[in-house]
């Protein structure tokens, strides 16, 4: 990685930045303090306008998705971005004002729908509250007269005329009153009560004692009139909602224009964000950034073609970002690595090793030739038909390579959609053929040969761990940490190999057993003598002895690889169970229909569950068992100044 500084004429800034953005060669570096004579140009206001327009487009598209959902195929998410000619950018820019107006119309219609819907909810609440007062022929807000106090409200109990009169009189026999019940139901009595104005306080006390409550909805009109007005208003609001929904549906024809306009403003916002970081004088401007070594010559040619530039470069320091470079086989696994952490400059790029073991272990866990072949063919068709973008393409290629591994492991385990070939053959012929008899090569049956596969799984785990420790050994040598390489890593590697030879000797011969034991003991002595070398006094001995406790950690790591057997066994057993269920309904037409349905649904469930399980557990073996032996991470991934678009990409000039 190189650190570059480009000085160019200010009049060429727009053209040069656009070409650099198109090429995606440089990651622009922020400079906290400008050099003497240079200053930064504040274009924040313009950038905010572009970002606001991006937000307008995003909100409009989400509204269109709600009211006029775009018709997409089942696999359309795999499709790449739309390619456009560079000349079309100018056309998009000229139409952007009209498109933004369309977005505002969509948002205004949606706001009307939201406001009207909220108002309708309030109206419905009011109508529900007025329903019990429909027989009232005076307004609910009727005020007292000079001689009469008026009380309109409800009590939390059902009364008839006699019961209410008795209840009121019982509270205060001196109270003079007249009343009329408007509505009654369980736990509710709505009524109007009249009392002399001189006894208003007395009436209030009596009603309060009985639990009197005034209506929540007040009106200066009679409840019937108020209900009619609210109903008419509700109808009008609903009509406005329907009108706005129809308008949004009609504006959906501008969806593609909104998409490309959103990308246009996003690209411009990114460019102005970079301009904010550039140093300027009256006549020139400066771009500071990072560029991969292999792209430096491309940058020089680009600058010479576009502008009069002065370029200076030097080797970047350890704070520089990291750009991973891998071949077609290992590049799909970069996403697995960066999901964990980008490598620092002190690390090696473990992607090739990660890729090999990821494909290998995934296939061993999924372990069905039918599923693997299905993955390879389906992903191949998607790649050919949809031509996805690079990121999606790499993700698909990752699973395609896993599918290849799954296919070969399925052949080793003798699993082709479980035991579907022999189940179908036996179903139609009445024979009792087995997969071992059908396949012309020897196979390992995870159910019958579980112990053998357990040993093989742990052996693969040992290799995996030793590779990780080998990476640590190499890093220590590269950093000239001889003690870390030979004592902290090398002795442990030899000890694990000694244990492996010792275990093999149990089955092979006593001589091999003694050789393995000798290697393990010698390494243990070496660890006791060296692991406390950085401590003083008795700490040297204690530190050396304590280091041997780490052997339990390595044993635990090795046992983790038993999941290779467990998931492989699960995939095969579930497939066989679905095959067995599929043939339980006999050979009738109905039975054959059920067989087809159960096989399709069952194997789809098996693929979904066990593909996910294989993916997660394979990542765990990489992250926990292998990476813990050597990988530190903490690096910053190279993020070039590029066209950060979602829907379009510019056709490359040939």
Decide: residue 359, CB within 10 A, 0-12 exposed, 13-18 middle, 19+ buried: buried
Q: Name the one residue in this structure whose structure tokens are 């509700």.
A: 234
DSSP string, 588-604: SHHHHHHHHHHHHHHHH
Q: Tell me the backbone φ, ψ of residue 83, rounded to 5 degrees.
A: -85, 135
CA pair distance 576, 230, nearest whole angstrom:
65
Q: 0.85 exceeded by the pTM?
A: no
- 395/334 Cα distance (integer angstroms): 9
Give the Å distances, CA to CA, from 482 to 291, 489, 519, 520: 33, 10, 21, 21
pLDDT score recorded for residue 527: 81
Pick the closest to residue 365 from 571, 532, 199 (CA basis).
571
Listed in sequence order, the residues at least 6 apart from 310 whose beta carbon sits closer than 8 Å to its beta carbon are 6, 7, 8
Whether residue 574 is predicted with pLDDT greater than 80 in this model: the reply is: yes
Phi–psi pair at 584, nearest 5 degrees = -80, -10
Residues 6+ apart with CB under 8 A from 178: 193, 194, 195
- Percent of the chain whose pLDDT exceeds 90: 51
Compute the average pLDDT of residues 188-207: 94
Q: Extract the runs of DSSP E, i.e. beta strands, from 218-302.
A: 279-280, 284-291
pLDDT at residue 87 above 80?
no
> The tokens of 487 are what?
């004592």
- In order, the DSSP letters of 445-510 are -TTTSHHHHHHHHHHHHHHHHHHHHHHHHHHHHHTT-HHIIIIIIIHHHHHHHHHHHHHHHHHS-H
Residue boundaries of the structural domains of the chain:
1-41+276-323, 44-127+226-266, 141-214, 334-436+450-468+561-628, 481-556
pLDDT at 566: 92
The answer to whether 357 touches 622, Cβ cutoff 8 Å, is yes
CATH number belonging to domain 1-41+276-323: 3.30.70.120
How many residues comprise the chain?
654
- With 60 as the cut, is the pLDDT of residue 86 above it? yes
pLDDT of residue 554: 86
- Count how many Cα atoms sit within 13 Å of the Cα of residue 278 in the half-sphere of its side chain: 27
In this prediction, residue 468 carries a pLDDT of 93
Over the stretch 437-448, which tens digit does the pLDDT of each residue have? 888 888 888 888
Residue 318 CB-density burial (10 A; 0-12 exposed, 13-18 middle, 19+ buried) = exposed
Q: What is the mean pLDDT of residues 565-578?
A: 92
pLDDT of res. 205: 94
Which pairing describes strands 648-650 and 82-84: parallel, antiparallel, or unpaired? parallel
User: Span 123-135, mean pLDDT?
Assistant: 91
Residues 6+ apart with CB under 8 A from 538: none
Residue 645: C-alpha distances to residues 61, 89, 98, 267 (Å): 15, 13, 20, 7
Per-residue pLDDT band at 239 (split at 50, 70, 90): very high
The per-residue pLDDT for 183 is 93
Q: What is the pLDDT of residue 541?
A: 64
Q: From 521, 516, 496, select the one nearest 506 (Cα to Cα).
A: 516
pLDDT at 75 over 80: no
The fold of the 141-214 domain, in CATH, is: Alpha-Beta Plaits (3.30.70)
Residue 616 scores a pLDDT above 90: yes
| Residue 453's pLDDT band (cuts 50, 70, 90) | very high
Fold matches, 1-41+276-323 and 141-214: yes
Across the range 429-457, mean pLDDT stands at 88
Share of the chain above pLDDT 70, in %: 97
Per-residue pLDDT of 317-340, as tens digits, reads 878 888 888 999 999 999 999 889
């Amino acid at each position: 990685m190189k650190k570059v500084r480009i000085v160019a004429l200010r009049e060429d800034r727009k053209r040069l930045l656009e070409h650099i953005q198109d090429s995606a060669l440089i990651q622009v570096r922020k400079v906290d303090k400008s050099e003497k004579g240079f200053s930064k140009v504040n274009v924040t206001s313009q950038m905010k306008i572009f970002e606001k327009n991006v937000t307008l487009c995003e909100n409009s598209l989400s509204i269109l998705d709600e009211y006029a959902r775009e018709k997409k195929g089942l696999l359309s998410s795999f499709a790449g971005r739309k390619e456009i000619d560079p000349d079309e950018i100018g056309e998009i820019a000229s139409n952007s004002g009209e498109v933004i107006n369309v977005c505002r119309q969509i948002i205004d219609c949606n706001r009307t729908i939201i406001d009207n819907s909220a108002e309708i909810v309030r109206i419905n609440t009011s109508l529900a509250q007025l329903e019990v007062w429909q027989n009232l022929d005076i307004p609910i807000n009727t005020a007292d007269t000079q001689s009469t106090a008026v009380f309109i409200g409800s009590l939390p109990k059902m009364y008839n005329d006699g019961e209410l009169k008795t209840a009121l009189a019982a509270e205060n026999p001196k109270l003079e009153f007249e009343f009329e019940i408007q509505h009654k139901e369980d736990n509710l009595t709505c009524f109007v009560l009249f009392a002399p104005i001189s006894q208003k306080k007395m009436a209030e006390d009596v009603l309060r004692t009985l639990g009197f409550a005034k209506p929540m909805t007040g009106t200066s009109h009679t409840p019937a009139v108020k209900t009619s007005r609210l109903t008419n208003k509700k109808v009008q609001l609903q009509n406005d909602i329907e009108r706005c929904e129809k308008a949004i549906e009609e504006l959906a024809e501008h969806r593609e224009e909104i998409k490309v306009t959103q990308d246009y403003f996003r690209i411009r916002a990114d460019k102005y964000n970079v301009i904010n970081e550039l140093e300027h004088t009256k006549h020139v401007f400066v771009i500071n950034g990072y560029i991969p070594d292999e792209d430096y010559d491309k940058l020089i040619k680009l600058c010479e073609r576009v502008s009069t530039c002065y370029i200076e470069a030097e080797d970047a320091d350890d704070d520089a970002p990291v750009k991973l470079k891998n071949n077609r086989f290992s590049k799909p696994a970069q996403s697995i690595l960066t999901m964990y952490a980008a490598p620092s400059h002190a690390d090696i790029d473990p992607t090739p090793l990660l890729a090999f073991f990821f494909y290998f272990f995934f296939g061993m866990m999924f372990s069905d030739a039918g599923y693997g072949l299905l993955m390879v063919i389906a992903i191949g068709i998607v790649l050919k038909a949809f031509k996805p973008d690079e990121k999606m393409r790499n993700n698909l290629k990752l699973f395609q390579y896993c599918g290849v591994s799954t296919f070969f492991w399925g052949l080793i385990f003798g699993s082709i959609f479980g035991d579907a070939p022999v189940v179908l053959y036996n179903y139609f012929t009445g024979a009792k053929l087995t997969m071992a008899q059908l396949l012309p090569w020897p196979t390992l049956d995870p159910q019958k040969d579980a112990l053998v596969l357990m040993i093989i799984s742990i052996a693969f785990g040992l290799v995996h761990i030793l590779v990780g420790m080998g990476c640590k050994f190499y890093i220590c040598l590269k950093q000239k940490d001889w003690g870390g390489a030979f004592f902290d890593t090398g002795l442990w590697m030899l000890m694990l190999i000694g244990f492996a030879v010792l275990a093999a000797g149990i089955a092979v011969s006593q001589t091999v057993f003694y050789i393995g034991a000798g290697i393990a003991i010698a390494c243990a002595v070496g660890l006791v003598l060296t692991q406390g070398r950085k401590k003083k006094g008795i700490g040297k001995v204690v530190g050396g002895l304590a280091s041997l406790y780490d052997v339990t950690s390595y044993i635990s790591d090795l046992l983790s690889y038993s999941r290779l057997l467990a998931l492989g066994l699960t995939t095969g057993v579930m497939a066989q169970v679905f095959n067995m269920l599929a043939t339980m309904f006999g050979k009738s037409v109905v039975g054959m229909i059920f067989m087809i349905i159960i096989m399709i649904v069952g194997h789809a469930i098996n693929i979904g569950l066990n593909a996910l399980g294989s993916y997660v557990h394979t990542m765990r073996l990489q992250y926990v068992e292998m990476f813990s032996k050597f990988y530190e991470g903490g690096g910053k991934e190279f993020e070039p100044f590029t066209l950060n678009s979602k829907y379009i990409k510019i056709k490359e000039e040939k």
